Structure 1
């Protein structure tokens, strides 16, 4: 099975360790991961702000890059959701039914990391060791668009050395929402304040999620508070191992 990593813009530009961690986990499980170097943005930002015509070229390019792969893994519920729920729509709006069908075929083989591990590879214990108090934030796209459910929690519960703490009001948005945080800054800030309060109420050392964008938003707020709680992507926790003394 050819597994291709779609690393996403945010991971590529700001959080490269997330991509590396994704590869580490899959290679530890005995799988070879390819990185198609021609990959670019999936076009989600364009679609979400109404620039469907400009997104069409990105959708076409994404399909051309990934349609030969057996499986595509994405360490982001947000970008996985865009591929699965926006790409074919963009092509059909442009009147390109052939591209829409190709996009649907790629989308059917595209999985967010926890989906791939649990549903496709049938694994919950990835051999991780992470001796910290951790709370999990289910991001909006993973929760409401992909319906990943408890898959990330099933993976986290099998991490050795870790104490998993329940996050109050976990299903509430953190307030990022891409350009939402820019266009509605005051509302976004209020939502972030609620999310940070809930994270800090758990007493966790680490807040984790499957999207770097939400972690960037939450982590930025926690850093400004100097709260001592940091954010770490799910992939990075799953990639952690106990080191020999």
Structure 2
């Protein structure tokens, strides 16, 4: 987290978050999965959702996308609107009734479903049991490709240098940065370059960017400067909220560098769409 944040928020503490819980993965790929597309993917990065589906289908998996899905409830939850978050989350539960894995092309939304939704229903035992069962079968996309599908990617693209950005919540709750690194390392012509602010927030934080725009703006400025200084030709991320913020800042700065969702990058690099 940026020093600017801690200086501006006196009660902010530097307590290290708990590590993601270890989990057991299925021995075999499932025949069917749900895709939770997330509201940001649906509205701003639909190609990322489609490319996630393409990647899963290439693994021989049938993908179900319930049309009634919307938001995971995270924005309301982190803003303190517990009742509203509960109703949004409750509406999603009814859509994923079959016992199939739920794959999410966003570490932060997957983290909400796996780590926080149970808190919303702690006083509703019957619903809590349903939420906990869904959490156990929820996977972030890169995690699912790596540990459940056990993909072995064959690169068909030209040499390129990329910088990996992982949202702060996805990094700490879901280990998304590690999953992304391993998948990118399978691509022979892709060089992942380090950047000095990799573990720091891009400043988006959902409603944080609205409530504290000056701090948010300073954080994304730090982030984009580090990305440009890294020498990367492209930014890759598994979280579209961060991509929206980073790409918006780069566009405003009139920089050529842009970010792309990991799903789209992997699909294109491995011959998708040709």
**Contact 2:59 2:149 (C-alpha < 8 Å) held by counterparts:** no
Select which of 17, 32, 36 maps to 2:47.
17
State how many pairs are aligned: 242
2:85 matched to which residue of 1? Answer: 55
Q: Is the 8 A contact 1:39 1:65 kept in 2?
A: yes
2-structure distance, mates of 1:244, 1:223: 27
Q: Are positions 1:88 and 2:118 aligned together?
A: yes
**1:190 CA displacement:** 0.8
CA distance in 2 between counterparts of 1:238 and 1:244 reads 11
Q: The residue matched to 1:65 in structure 2 has which SS?
A: coil
> Of 223, 234, 242, which aligns to 2:262?
234
Gaps of 5+ in 2: 1-29
Shift of 1:149: 4.5
- 1:171-222 C-alpha deviation (Å, 9 max, x unpaired): 0111110000111111111111110111001111211111000011111111
Does residue 203 (structure 1) correspond to residue 231 (structure 2)? The answer is: yes
1:220 has 2:248 as partner: yes
Out of 185, 189, 192, the residue aligned to residue 164 of structure 1 is 192
- Deviation of 1:147 (Å): 2.5
SS at match of 1:86: helix
Structure 2 distance, partners of 1:65, 1:243, is: 29
Range with bigger deviation, 62-71 or 111-120: 62-71
Q: Distance in 2 between matches of 1:9 and 1:149?
A: 22
Which of 203, 206, 210 in structure 2 is aligned with 1:182? 210
Q: Is structure 2 residue 74 aligned with structure 1 residue 38?
A: no
Are 2:157 and 1:127 aligned?
Answer: no
**1:104/1:238 CA distance change after superposition, 3 Å:** same
Does the C-alpha gap of structure 1 residues 122 and 221 become closer, same or farther in structure 2, counting only changes over 3 Å?
same
Of 101, 106, 112, which residue of structure 1 is paired with 2:134?
A: 106
Uncovered stretches (5+) of structure 1, i.e. residues with no partner:
none
Indicate conservation of the 8 Å contact 1:39/1:62, yes or no: yes
The Cα shift of 1:128 comes to 4.5
